[in-house]
Amino acid sequence: MRQRTVESVVVFDLVGRMVAGDGDGRLTDAVTVCLQTGQRHILLNCSELTSVDSSGLGEVVESFVAVRGLGGRLVLTGISRRFRRLLHTVGLLDILEVQESEEAGLESLVGETAAPPHLGGAGRGPAPADQHQTYGTVWHRQGALLTEVLTV
């Protein structure tokens, strides 16, 4: 995993595998450090990611929840068809913000219309301030996928 900053956005280039036993917690730890230093716009560039299991998916979700909880935005870019299918299968494709390219992700985070969008990504506009929605999220704990409810 490589980290860099583009304008006000912290970009993590995820490289190789995000699987159990392969750097467990590195992404979550790095995102936590960013949040502790006041950085709230995070882009996960997945174009060099070769495989993701439930442990890696759990890290993405945990990072998303942490960023969102502090009023920030986390955007995934460059996801493969296989990763997109995994996100769809577990119900996260409509929750996480996904952009096709790093350029589109950066534009959505630093553009003049960078107001946080409704969960689910670009094109849906911001949710009304008084509207709360409940989404299912997937967490990985001791090798089993558990469903937990996240109210946003």
> What does the alpha-carbon distance between residue 134 and residue 152 come to, in Å, rounded to a whole number?
6
Residue 129: burial class (beta carbons within 10 Å; 0-12, 13-18, 19+): exposed
Q: What is the pLDDT of residue 131?
A: 37
Residue 15: burial class (beta carbons within 10 Å; 0-12, 13-18, 19+): middle
Backbone angles phi, psi at 65, to 5 degrees: -65, -40
Q: What is the pLDDT of residue 20?
A: 84
**pLDDT at residue 19 is higher than 90:** no
> What does the alpha-carbon distance between residue 22 and residue 55 come to, in Å, rounded to a whole number?
10
- Tell me the pLDDT tens digit for each residue of 86-135: 999 999 999 999 999 999 999 999 873 344 444 444 433 333 343 334 34
* Contact present, 13 and 44 (Cβ < 8 Å): no
Domains and CATH numbers, the chain: 2-151 (3.30.750.24)
Supply 26's token pair.
């590195």
How do beta strands 9-18 and 2-6 pair?
A: antiparallel
pTM (two decimals) = 0.73
